[in-house]
A and B are shown apart, each in its own frame.
Chain A
Amino acid sequence: IGFDVSEDVTLPPRQQSFLIDPAGQDLVREFLTQYFAIFDSESRQPLLEAYHESATMSMAANYLTNDNRNMPATRLNQYISNSRNIIRITERESRRRYLRTGKLQVVSFLSDLPKTTHDLMGFAVDLLVFTPTMIVLTMNGLYKETNTSGSPTRSFHRTFVIVPNSGGGFCIINDMLYVTNTTKEQEESAFKSGMPEAIPPTPAPTPTPAPAPSFSN
């Protein structure tokens, strides 16, 4: 006779995306397409247009528990040296310093990160808040470092808090990025999406006209 323990409980199936409001779909898609086209280009300077004057940005990086840190492609030194992991960064002064503040600081920081190509089609995007005054979205996905030897693929989790700008477009006020290595499973399916399904199509008609997708003024 056994015990009635819940060993057979399984995890709910995962979904690629969640939208709190289907009306946000086009805006989010446009915004991310424009943003990462610039992020993955030769110069990230034009991202100045995408950030609010007093935007804040921070990045934290860490190894996966099973990472072999002796392999050159697995090393995250370029990220770890700037990582604002507050479990390790315990002093208030350092925590303040590692938070990039103002769009000049933010874009300068982003410009120093390795050159990338993001797997935009493979993004999992969750739209958590969609109101006239604030949009919050998170992304989970992969990118390749294009100028690093061995072109390693990294996994990231990132959150944007977006607000309307004075020009009728939108800009990022908070940007929080987490970078780590890919799992074997992620590595195998990286850059393999055939269809642009980063955000699933919704059958319902858009109830309100979509706001201007551009983040430029």
Chain B
Amino acid sequence: MSEVVLKNVDNACETAEEFTRVFYKQVDNSRHLTSKLYLDTGLLVWNGNGINGNDKIQKFLMDLPGSNHVLKTLDAQPISENLVSNQLTLTYLIQACGDVTYQNDNIKKPFQQTFLIVAVDGKWKIASDCFRLQVPYNS
């Protein structure tokens, strides 16, 4: 790999650390501000429920019980930018896993969450956010 590509790998990891620190702090402590982290056209898929656009995402998040996330595992990769159409958008794939406790039952639940984040005007924004609790999904 070229030095530029390798630097991008370092940067993906360091951005993922910073991003998840901000994201979970907001979701747990200042949830009313969380939708600012999403693109206007961002997508949240919460346990298979799809929510499009950051206004709707904000409303959806506000209706969830209070939460506390503890991150245990984190991984990140750059997505090859020249392959994603011709736009020069920097895109990172981030996978965050850990335990979440919701105030309604206070039970620690394992969760896994995947983010696609893009750099827009010098800020990182979530293009897609896929959240899954680790439970059976077969019907």
Contact = CB atoms under 8 A, between A and B. Distances in A.
Tell whether A and B belong to one assembly. Answer: yes
B37 interface: no
A11 B64 contact: yes
A195 B43 CA distance: 29
Range class of the A interface residue count: 35 or more
A161 B79 contact: yes
Contacts of A161: 79, 93
Nearest to A58: B75
Contact of A126 (B16, B74, B77, B130): B130
B84 A60 contact: no
Nearest to B83: A163
A176 B136 CA distance: 21
Contacts of A197: 138-139
A52 B110 CA distance: 32
A128 B72 contact: no
A133 B84 contact: yes
Interface stretch (A30-38, A143-151, A181-189): A181-189
Given A64-B110, A101-B1, A193-B139, A14 B47 contact: yes
A173 interface: yes
Given A86-B16, A99-B9, A174-B77, A134 B137 contact: no
